[in-house]
Amino acid sequence: MASTKMKIKKNKAGGHDVMVLAKHPMETGLRKDKKTGEKVPAHFIQTMDFALNGTVVSQANLGPGVSKNPLIGISLSGGKSGDTVSVSWTDNKGETGTTEKAIK
């Protein structure tokens, strides 16, 4: 699947805001193809896991109602410079995506 990008910014509370952009079609299974008239099969992210140094700290459960190329964010407390934040997702077809970044 296509790329997954992440940005990490320090917030006013002393933690970090983690924003993830997942390139994904996020099809509901209800839309019809304009050329063929047939329904486009459902294809959407189901779970997105956020981990700090390998330990899952948050999980987002998504569904077909989320827009194409979703931007998902969390506030992370407890991370420090040099720690690694990783994000992985799995969709309803078993495809996965992942990205990882160190906190500056």
What the block records as the tokens of 101 is 């970044």
Residue 80 belongs to a domain with what CATH number? 2.60.40.10
Number of domains in the chain: 1
Please say whether the beta carbons of 40 and 27 come within 8 A. Answer: yes
pLDDT tens readout for residues 48-98: 999 999 999 999 999 999 999 999 999 999 899 999 999 999 999 999 999
- Which structural domain, as residue segments, surrounds residue 94? 4-29+37-102
Please tell me the predicted confidence (pLDDT) of residue 78. 85
Distance CA 30, CA 7 (A): 32
Q: Tell me how far apart the 2 most distant CA atoms of the chain are, in Å.
A: 53
Per-residue pLDDT band for 3 (boundaries 50, 70, 90) equals confident
In sequence order, which residues have a C-beta less than 8 Å from that of residue 34 and are 6 or more positions away? none
Distance CA 6, CA 102 (A): 10
What the block records as the tokens of 31 is 């839309």
Please say whether the beta carbons of 74 and 50 come within 8 A. Answer: yes
